[in-house]
Amino acid sequence: MKTIDIALKDLRRMFLSAFFLAFGLVLPLATAGLFYFAFGGMDSGGGGFDLAPIPVVVANLDRAQGGLAAGDIVAGILDDSLPGLIQASQADSAAAARAAVDRQQAAVAVIIPEGLSAAVIRPDGRATVELYQDPALTLGPGIVQGVVRQVVDAFAGTKIAAEVAAAQLAGHGGTVDGATLQGLAMEYAAWSERAAGGEAGEGLSLLDVRSPAGAGDEGAGGAASVLGQIMAGMMVFYVFFSGAAAA
């Protein structure tokens, strides 16, 4: 009992000390509150951040070739890959698409050239998808460029697939002609379109969206973060208090 009485007496004296109250309670709480409101506050929404919608204008000059509409595939993926982030609209010509960017009505223009479908299915075909962007912007055009590059890379894979398959057929005595190469390219292009839409099987989607670990505990995580800051502040200021008290 004597030990408890001594401890209670010491606690009473500490809580009556303005120095202890300042370093043990006020300053840690003030520090935690400062960091909480400076780096998110009550409106942090779980610690994430919002991206403004990216206005994109698409000029699709391509025409279907042999049943493949590569231009429509590119335009469709821009419409569907990131809904709510990429806001795609159509333009009748490349000049109109560039003018929309110049007037700051769009962040980036995607100009799909005439003959893209033919270039995909022909081994010697060449075509270039043009991106025309606002030079003052970087993040939005970079996202659009990444989406378009994935699709174009998939189209480029048709040539590699056709060449490899043709070499294998020739090595086994098979007949390789233009129709065979076109058929191989068409099959690979169709597979690429399904893969871009996530329909070709597990793990083949060009865009894989996953929730971060522990996303279901956002409410508890926010409270734990604040409590952690308070505890850290108390530990730091308690060191100063102990040193001053010992002196």
Domains for the chain: give ranges and CATH numbers: 2-47+223-246 (no CATH), 54-196 (3.40.190)
HSE-up of residue 244 (Cα within 13 Å, Cβ side): 11
Helix (H) / strand (E) containing 111: strand 108-112
Tell whether the model's pLDDT for residue 103 goes beyond 50: yes
Tokens of 78: 């821009």
Q: How far is CA 19 from the centre of its chain?
A: 49
Out of 20-29, 115-124, 170-179, 198-207, the most confident range is 115-124
The residues, any chain, with a CB within 8 Å of residue 117's CB and separated by 6 or more, are 62, 63, 64, 65, 66, 68, 69, 70, 71
Residue 181's nearest CA partner among 124, 118, 123 is 123
More confident residue, 144 or 26: 144
Q: Evaluate whether 57 touches 111 at the Cβ level (below 8 Å).
A: no
More confident residue, 246 or 168: 168
Lowest mean pLDDT among 13-22, 53-62, 81-90, 208-217: 208-217
Q: Evaluate whether 88 touches 56 at the Cβ level (below 8 Å).
A: yes
Tell whether the model's pLDDT for residue 140 goes beyond 50: yes
Please tell me whether the overall predicted TM-score, pTM, comes out greater than 0.85 for this model: no
Tell whether the model's pLDDT for residue 203 goes beyond 50: no
Mean pLDDT confidence for 20-37 = 73
Reported as a pLDDT band with limits 50, 70 and 90, residue 59 is: very high
What is the predicted pLDDT for the residue at 200? 45
Reported as a pLDDT band with limits 50, 70 and 90, residue 133 is: very high
What is the predicted pLDDT for the residue at 201? 47
Residue 152's nearest CA partner among 119, 170, 129 is 129
Mean pLDDT confidence for 112-130 = 84
